[in-house]
Structure 1
């Protein structure tokens, strides 16, 4: 056995050896039948690191038995692409696998366009980023398919591990290994759908285990725990998955699902990104809880979490998340400002009423500014303080109603005051 990592040696050789991704390339899919017929469309593959993008491309190339060239966009230059194009012109179609394709400059991407269109190059690009954000639109338009690979389920990871243990040619089948089904499942559940990590972790566990007098490798739970722990939690704070996690976090709180919100919070805590957590919690407090609850409490919680830091901050954050999940909710103020912004941005505005204009400078009164302004504090209104009926909105917008109160939590009281004042304006 050579020194190549197990994950490299166990790459699927054809699409029939791909485990998982059945919804994309299972035997009943059009893509599977297309590839089996010898045709490969240009495509973009995206997904988390270790999810199998490179293996997917290798399996396709192995199925159609065409020349397959790989480049890494972080290191390849235009000269390398020119050499690949020259080879394609001389000997026919090449399947070009470009890893981290979003790293190519616009010049490099543009250079390939005509050769992809003409069929000299079949492009399979892979990226950990969202191709709709980070890949040149011209390249995207030449790719027949944009495919998001999904993290493998533990049952799929188990299949990969079991195959590697049985394969005597590429895997670990030549070694006498004593490992139970339960232990394989523990590994499968501990890698977060990362196929590459699972295989390389298995290899480390096997060769890190002790042997009995007969040379049998004895895998015990302690070794598995040790290597799983050392692997750590992989979470790219700048990647799409980070923002997807934040999105799931906010939507779970908005939907009052305490358990889902705590799960996403746990992932963000493990990523160690306290600023992102606090920023999102403060947005949630005012966007989704709003006047119905007490968003100021979240500000205090976030300030406290920042002061104490991890690991204790997890307690404060958990408290804040549960409270937000179960709080009464209103998005009335969020909708109100967006309605007002829509008027401003569409040009639907008018001059400020003269009596509201600044009158604290010489000549202001001669311009009519501030005249007839009524100071609300001079007009007591019960326990409310002071209020007087006068026009504040510009003439063209005088009847606009941006704020529409909701009958939820604390906003029931605030909304009732609003409606009463609106009634006073109409003389009711």
Structure 2
């Protein structure tokens, strides 16, 4: 009975799983597998504490299939050989493999034939994106299911179940968790129900029983026991790149509130380098020619942030994020260079016209280099019509102006005038 509360609260059947309705709800894919008692190897991917191994154990419990739990790092090939030997005796076995993304080649090569012939059903659990972190040989033999962070309402359901279980252990005692404390456990754990269980258990064990045989858990106790008052994430993990992506797309979409939300998450991760890089990319990719000051202003804000450091760095960063959000947007330069690069990479090059080739060497004239070149500064307005692109691309247009903002309207009129002369 010394097992942690989080361990004791693990579901034994698929019906007891909290959350993840998109996978285990009525008519959903994992529930259908369980109901049909026809399992396929799978990888459960999601953040910590959302029930990956719990679902794996519940699948085994609901289908009555024997299972063994191993860790891809901690357990060696010999441990896997023992599992396979047991599977051969029982003819069917589920291998729940935690940290499956850390499976080395020797262990992988050993397991593959048994996955192929169905002797072992693998249920791998990982916090890393399987499309980035798991070898294709394993990935191709498994269904991949993504689990999501649990909603506070789901976590509250689990906590209330846990309180009932713990009250039974107290016999005549009572556990009272104030609504504000329960809400704090449910929200501040950031979707990680294991953290919520651990904090609740610590609160119950560290709070004295009063004369009425009650354990009363207040909000201050909850805050002490769950030392997570703000969001944080691993700046080297997959979720970090999702936050960066959401950050750029929110600014591109001119949503100030969402942009500040994702900026705050990146600030909490302490990754000023990624924030700076992404802001500069946004200034030139998404704002571009619509606001020529966006790039220099973003750089200035970043330099101030780097000089003053956190926590004050949040202020210039917030300023520039709001400015970029509300600036007019244009990706015409971004699209133009991408199209030009696409031509180059497809081999659409062509010879550089002779009249604009380098003529600053002896013998260049004999090769026809520079002959016929018209020097624009010799002409009114500093422009004269002549061919610059190779013959095979001379009619190519890469730049398509966006005329939805005043700055680029001016560029568009000049561009069209020059092209039409």
Shorter-chain TM-score bucket reads over 0.9
Q: Which residue pairs with 2:11 in the alignment?
A: 12
Q: Which residue pairs with 1:156 in the alignment?
A: 154
Q: Conserved in 1, the CA contact under 8 Å of 2:44 and 2:126? A: yes
Shift of residue 211 of structure 1?
A: 4.3
Q: Which residue pairs with 2:277 in the alignment?
A: 279
Q: Which residue pairs with 1:338 in the alignment?
A: 338
Q: Which residue pairs with 2:370 in the alignment?
A: 370
C-alpha distance in structure 2 between counterparts of 1:89 and 1:28, whole Å: 32
Q: 1:139 to 1:316 in 2, by over 3 A?
A: same
Q: 1:226 to 1:341 in 2, by over 3 A?
A: same
Secondary structure in 2 aligned to 1:167?
helix
Secondary structure in 1 aligned to 2:183?
helix
Q: Which residue pairs with 2:49 in the alignment?
A: 50
Q: Which residue pairs with 1:357 in the alignment?
A: 357
C-alpha distance in structure 1 between counterparts of 2:51 and 2:411, whole Å: 54
Shift of residue 18 of structure 1?
A: 0.3
Pairing 1:116–2:107 present? no
Q: 1:333 to 1:302 in 2, by over 3 A?
A: same
Q: Conserved in 2, the CA contact under 8 Å of 1:209 and 1:220? A: no
Q: Which residue pairs with 1:423 in the alignment?
A: 420
Q: Which residue pairs with 1:31 in the alignment?
A: 30
Between 1:170-179 and 1:21-30, the stretch displaced more is: 170-179
Between 1:187-196 and 1:406-415, the stretch displaced more is: 406-415
C-alpha distance in structure 1 between counterparts of 2:393 and 2:330, whole Å: 25
Shift of residue 96 of structure 1?
A: 0.2
Pairing 1:348–2:344 present? no
In structure 1, runs of 5+ residues without a counterpart are: none
Post-superposition Cα deviations, 1:314-364, rounded to whole Å, max 9, x if no partner, equal 111111111111110011011101110111111111011112112222322
Shift of residue 87 of structure 1?
A: 1.9
Post-superposition Cα deviations, 1:47-83, rounded to whole Å, max 9, x if no partner, equal 0111111111111112222221111112222222222
Shift of residue 110 of structure 1?
A: 2.7
C-alpha distance in structure 2 between counterparts of 1:327 and 1:221, whole Å: 43
Between 1:155-164 and 1:19-28, the stretch displaced more is: 19-28
Q: 1:37 to 1:168 in 2, by over 3 A?
A: farther
Q: 1:43 to 1:172 in 2, by over 3 A?
A: farther
Shift of residue 231 of structure 1?
A: 6.6
C-alpha distance in structure 2 between counterparts of 1:234 and 1:171, whole Å: 35
C-alpha distance in structure 1 between counterparts of 2:216 and 2:167, whole Å: 21
C-alpha distance in structure 1 between counterparts of 2:228 and 2:256, whole Å: 30
Q: Which residue pairs with 2:71 in the alignment?
A: 72
Between 1:191-200 and 1:371-380, the stretch displaced more is: 371-380
Q: Which residue pairs with 1:321 in the alignment?
A: 321
C-alpha distance in structure 2 between counterparts of 1:156 and 1:53, whole Å: 15
Q: Conserved in 2, the CA contact under 8 Å of 1:166 and 1:173? A: no
TM-score, length basis structure 2: 0.94
Q: Conserved in 2, the CA contact under 8 Å of 1:177 and 1:217? A: yes
Q: 1:237 to 1:175 in 2, by over 3 A?
A: farther
Q: Which residue pairs with 2:307 in the alignment?
A: 307
Between 1:342-351 and 1:165-174, the stretch displaced more is: 165-174
Q: Conserved in 1, the CA contact under 8 Å of 2:178 and 2:218? A: no
Q: Conserved in 2, the CA contact under 8 Å of 1:6 and 1:171? A: no
Shift of residue 37 of structure 1?
A: 4.1
Q: 1:47 to 1:215 in 2, by over 3 A?
A: same
Q: Conserved in 2, the CA contact under 8 Å of 1:354 and 1:368? A: yes
C-alpha distance in structure 1 between counterparts of 2:100 and 2:153, whole Å: 30
Q: Conserved in 2, the CA contact under 8 Å of 1:45 and 1:149? A: yes
Q: 1:172 to 1:96 in 2, by over 3 A?
A: farther
Post-superposition Cα deviations, 1:133-181, rounded to whole Å, max 9, x if no partner, equal 22222222222x2110111111000001000000148977875322123
Post-superposition Cα deviations, 1:350-391, rounded to whole Å, max 9, x if no partner, equal 01111211222232222222223222223241xxxx222111
Pairing 1:140–2:139 present? yes
Q: Conserved in 2, the CA contact under 8 Å of 1:405 and 1:411? A: yes
C-alpha distance in structure 2 between counterparts of 1:398 and 1:215, whole Å: 89
TM-score, length basis structure 1: 0.92
After superposition, where does 1:178-193 map in structure 2 within 5 Å? 178-193=176-191
Secondary structure in 2 aligned to 1:365?
coil
Shift of residue 20 of structure 1?
A: 0.7
C-alpha distance in structure 2 between counterparts of 1:230 and 1:136, whole Å: 34
